[in-house]
Each structure stands twice: as C-alpha cells, then as structure tokens.
Amino acid sequence: MKKLSLAVSAIMLAASLAACGSPDKGSGTGHMYNAVLLGNPQSLDPQFADDPASNTVIKNLYSGLMSVDENGNISCCNAGSYDVSDDGTVYTFHLRDDNYWYFDENDDDVITEDEYFPVTAEDYVFSMRRVLDPKMKSPYAQDFSCIKDAQLVLRGLVEPSEAEIYATDDKTLVVVLEKPDTEFLYLMSTPAAYPCNEEFFNKTKGRYGLDDRSVMSNGAFFVRQWFYDPYGSNNILYMKRNDADWSKTYDIAPSYLSFSIEKNEEDIRKRFKDDETECFTSLSKAPYNPKKYLIQPASAITLGLIFNPANKNFANENLRNAIAYSIDRDTLGKDMSDDLAIAGGVIPPAVKLGGRSYRELASDRVFYGYDKEKAVECYTTAKTELGIENLGEMKVLVRGDTVDSSYLHRLTQSWQDMFGGYIGIDEVSEEQFNERIADGDYSIALYPLKPDLGYGCSCIGAFENEPCLKHILGDSELTPELRACGDVSALVEAYKSAEQAIIDTHGFIPLFYKKSYLIAKKDNEKIVYDPFTGAVDFRLALNYD
C-alpha cells in the first residue's frame, strides 16, 4: 500500500474530480460513493481473499464469466454464452470480445489504449488451477473439487495442470466435471473463478493483490490509491470507474468509490451518523428506523448448539439426545424480534436455488423434534451411564452480537426445570468466542454457522472442514453426493438428506436463523449486499442526494 501525505492525496482527489465532470443527479449516476471497510483488506487476490473488506473491493474490481443477481438468478457476464454436454459434465464458455484487463501503469488516473488488453480463456485456466494448487491453500479449493481430477490435485498426487480445465483458443474455455453438478454455474460466478493474468501475476513477484501496484482490473473500477498505516488514521482505498470500455457496456453508475478503512464497527457507525459514509453492514439494524433508512436484511447464519467432544458428559449420546428432544421451538419463538427466526434446519434461508430460497423448497419443520417424554427418558438413561444426579452447574457460551440472551434464558430455564442443576449464559465478544472455541474452553456453545459462499454445499461442507464441527460427522462425507446432482429437484432432496444426517447426530442442534443487514441512506438504490462473503456491490448503485 502506497504511503502518501494527506496533502498529496487531497490534490490527487481534487484533480480526479475535476477530470470526471459532474454527476447526473436526476438519473442517480455519476456519484462518488463514500463507503467504508471494516479493517484493511487482507488481499485483493480473488483466489485467496476471504474477509469482507477484501471481498467488497474484489467485487467492484473484477468480473467473472457468470454473475448472480440479488435474487439468486445466474446469467452470463464475461461469457457471451455457454454450452453443456448432453451428459452434463462438459461446460464450454464462449468469452465476449469486449472484456479487458486495465492497469494504470502511468499512474495518472487515466486508462489509455496501451494500458488495456483482452481477457483470454487462458486467464481463467490459470486462475482456476491456482485455486486447486495445494501449495496456494485457497479457502475455495474444495468448492472446485467437482472438476475432473481436481481431487488428485488437491491431494498432491498430480500437478494442477492435470485438472481438466482447458483453453481451446483465446475465447473458448472448457471445464470437465467428474459428475453433473447443478451448482457449477454458481461457482463460476464466485470470485475464486475470476480471471488472473499469469504474466502480470509473475511480475508482481509474490506481491499479487497486496498493494495498488500489484492488482489489475477487468471489472467496473480500478484501484487508484490504497493507503494504510496500522498506527495511523485517514486510511483509504480509492477506486475510479473504468471508462474505456467495460462501464459503457454495463452502464456502471458511480464514477468513484472512496472507502475509508476503519478499525471497528463503532467507528463505522459514527461515520454513518456524521454523513461521512452512505452505507455499512452489521449484524444489528438497531437503532435505525426502516422508514428513514434503506435496510436490506438477509438470513445467512444458522445459530446452533454444539458440544465440546472432550467434555465427558456431552460426549454421551443420550445426554445430547435429551437436550435435542427438550427444545420446544414453537414456544421458544414466541415474541421474538425479527432479527431472528426459529430454525429447524442447518442451511439458512438466504441460500438460494433457481432464484428461490432453499428453505421455501424444503421446509425445516420436518426437523422439529420436541418430545418431552423422550427427553426425560434419554436423560434418565444418560444419568445412569454417566453416574450423575443432574447436569450440575454449566453455562452456554454465546457470542453477544448474535443473539439477545433473553431468548436463551427461556431455553435454559426449561432445561433446569426438566433436568435440574444450574444452567447460565456466558456472553462474550466475537474475539473471545473464537478463542475459546479454538481452545476447547467450553462445554456447550451457541455456534454461528455461516457458509463462506451462498450455496448449500458450503454450509454442509463446514462439518467436514471446520475444526470444531468435524467430529460431528466423524469420517463421513456428505458433500460428494451434493456435487453429483444433475437438477434442482435432486439437489433439494440431497440437501434435505444431508441436513437430516447432521441433525440426527444431535451434535449440532439448530435454534435460530440470524439476519445480517446492509444499512444505507434513503437516497440510494441498487446497492447489493452478499451476506455470505460480506461484499457490498456498488456497480449499479444510484444516488439521488
């Protein structure tokens, strides 16, 4: 990140604004968005980054072959079209002629003809093989394990070049899958499948994505300035619209994105209150009135009870069964705020299939398992097996920003009445929660399960990959069957079976679906929030201030 004085930064910004011209207030276009990032982006490498700040910049910096709109509908973006073989395993993408790489090599805020060149199919081959390369440790590697021979690459048995991803010419990309996969097109819309130019990547000498001279753009905006001092303030990341070709094709609305980089949500909310930023994301919409602000909710988190496998009592299956059968979700959900909804399933409602919420296609009420008599029976058996009189004194570890603990007190009170002993709530910060889960310093916890990507396989895959959840399934793997579904109806059934398999262990007991929010000033439209990656998409955003 370049370190410039505030005076120089101000001069550059003034010059940029003068060159841009005036925004069109009537249409809402041409606006310079004052936005905000929580923390400095860790990396602008799409195949590696997974924090919300990075994801927001990447979303506005790059574009992929496919795209997903706010309703979950998938369409072509940099692909003009695509073909699928009759057996559903070979995807052929035909690239458009008008997508370019941009790099402000002269550092003058203007993209000239010698500073852009076409994106080719080889750029996608290189990026997708990078994802699979075990040396890279991409967090998205398993998501692309559906590609033929990808599993061999991930296990280090063959080189990434052996994965069946090919460029037959500059404008044709072919990807071969092991089996038909209904959600492969969704994967091709995610940042991990954005292109990466190998020549430019090699020129950065290991700095790719780490500063404003080590990133190119093939999307709506390019990075003009990235300044970050961990010990200072006035940290910014400044982006300018690509006016050469890309934005003309896609009618990109804003002229500039000016991100301030803040250390915590308290500072972000202060900037919002002082009209220094126009939107932010949060797990809470309080105290903002939806009549005065634009509030976009999304239920992308499932809050479920997990148990420490090292805890002798909760390693007992009958005790876990007793707790699972004791939960009366209909009573628990009475008078609940709209931040939460009662959960019976593992996959949250924001996951979509074919433009519809998965939870509309598969009701979670089939997983409700309240049975007081069975709970008491299992508990009696557990006491005998464990040699205990009651649960004794224990506390449920809770991340304070995810749930109002008063709802949990209803649950713990019912446990005390049914099982005896004392059960309290241990409410901690996000940092403390994560540390204690990692250290095994808990007996029972309310765990916020959030997929890294907006599809069900990412949610189910957490039970195969996340350390605190892996013991629940043991050596069982559920995702291979999910990656072999050829149509939506088969996928819905496969997801339901996977959810049932997890719930039957009673190692993860769903309680609530939790909303997160994009909160914006009322004079904005078409700001799109992805609650899974945390990315805020400004490409089509309109402002009528």
Q: Is the pLDDT of residue 470 over 70?
A: yes
Q: Is the pLDDT of residue 374 over 80?
A: yes
Q: Is the pLDDT of residue 14 over 90?
A: no
Predicted local confidence at residue 108, as pLDDT: 66
pLDDT digits (tens, 9 = 90+) for 36-50: 999 999 999 999 999
Predicted local confidence at residue 5, as pLDDT: 39
Question: Can you tell me the distance from the alpha carbon of 120 to that of 125, in angstroms, rounded to the nearest whole number?
Answer: 9
Range in 5-9, 102-106, 114-118, 393-397 with the lowest mean pLDDT: 5-9
Q: Is the pLDDT of residue 105 over 80?
A: no
Predicted local confidence at residue 406, as pLDDT: 86
Predicted local confidence at residue 182, as pLDDT: 94
Q: How confident is the model at residue 266 (pLDDT cuts 50, 70, 90)?
A: very high
Predicted local confidence at residue 112, as pLDDT: 67
Q: How confident is the model at residue 20 (pLDDT cuts 50, 70, 90)?
A: very low
Q: Cβ(463)–Cβ(508) under 8 Å?
A: yes
Query: Is 298-516 a domain of CATH 3.10.105.10?
Result: yes
pLDDT digits (tens, 9 = 90+) for 210-222: 999 999 999 999 9
Residue with tokens 């909303």: 515
pLDDT digits (tens, 9 = 90+) for 407-443: 898 899 999 888 888 889 999 999 999 999 999 999 9
Question: How far does Cα 360 stand from its chain's mean position?
Answer: 21
Cα 419 to Cα 307, 361, 389, 438, 522, distances in angstroms: 17, 36, 9, 29, 50
Mean pLDDT of all residues belonging to the chain: 91
> Rounded mean pLDDT of 159-184?
97
Q: What is the percentage of the chain residues whose pLDDT exceeds 90?
A: 80
Predicted local confidence at residue 541, as pLDDT: 95
Contacts of 382 (CB under 8 A, 6+ apart): 313, 316, 318, 319, 321, 322
Predicted local confidence at residue 11, as pLDDT: 33
Ranges of beta strands (E only) in 197-338 are: 221-227, 236-241, 256-262, 279-282, 293-307
pTM over 0.85, yes/no = yes
Match domain 63-209 to its CATH number in 3.90.76.10, 3.60.150.10, 3.30.365.10, 3.40.605.10. 3.90.76.10
Phi, psi angles (nearest 5°) of residue 405: -65, -15
Burial of 223 (0-12, 13-18, 19+ CB in 10 A): buried
Beta strand 172-176 with 90-95: parallel, antiparallel or unpaired? Answer: antiparallel
Contacts of 431 (CB under 8 A, 6+ apart): none
Question: Can you tell me the distance from the alpha carbon of 491 to that of 499, in angstroms, rounded to the nearest whole number?
Answer: 12
Cis peptide before 287 (omega within 30 of 0): yes
Residue with tokens 């990466």: 196
Greater confidence (15 vs 278) lies with 278
Predicted local confidence at residue 314, as pLDDT: 92
Q: Is the pLDDT of residue 474 over 60?
A: yes
Handedness of CA 130, 134, 140, 146 (dihedral sign): positive
Q: Is the pLDDT of residue 9 over 60?
A: no
Question: Can you tell me the distance from the alpha carbon of 545 to that of 521, in angstroms, rounded to the nearest whole number?
Answer: 9
Predicted local confidence at residue 104, as pLDDT: 74
Predicted local confidence at residue 245, as pLDDT: 53
Q: How confident is the model at residue 13 (pLDDT cuts 50, 70, 90)?
A: very low
Any idea where the domains of the chain sit in the sequence?
A: 1-61+219-292+522-545, 63-209, 298-516
Q: How confident is the model at residue 300 (pLDDT cuts 50, 70, 90)?
A: very high
Phi, psi angles (nearest 5°) of residue 33: -80, 125
Q: Cβ(125)–Cβ(97) under 8 Å?
A: no
Count helices and strands (H / E) in the chain.
18, 25
Q: How confident is the model at residue 472 (pLDDT cuts 50, 70, 90)?
A: very high
Q: How confident is the model at residue 233 (pLDDT cuts 50, 70, 90)?
A: confident
Question: Can you tell me the distance from the alpha carbon of 195 to that of 217, in angstroms, rounded to the nearest whole number?
Answer: 10
Predicted local confidence at residue 242, as pLDDT: 85
Range in 50-54, 163-167, 240-244 with the lowest mean pLDDT: 240-244
Match domain 1-61+219-292+522-545 to its CATH number in 3.40.190.10, 3.40.50.150, 3.60.15.10, 3.20.20.70. 3.40.190.10
Predicted local confidence at residue 72, as pLDDT: 86
Judged by DSSP in three states, 432 sits in helix
> Rounded mean pLDDT of 509-535?
96
CB atoms within 10 A of CB 341: 17
Residue (of 175, 68, 181, 83) closest to 490 by Cα position: 181
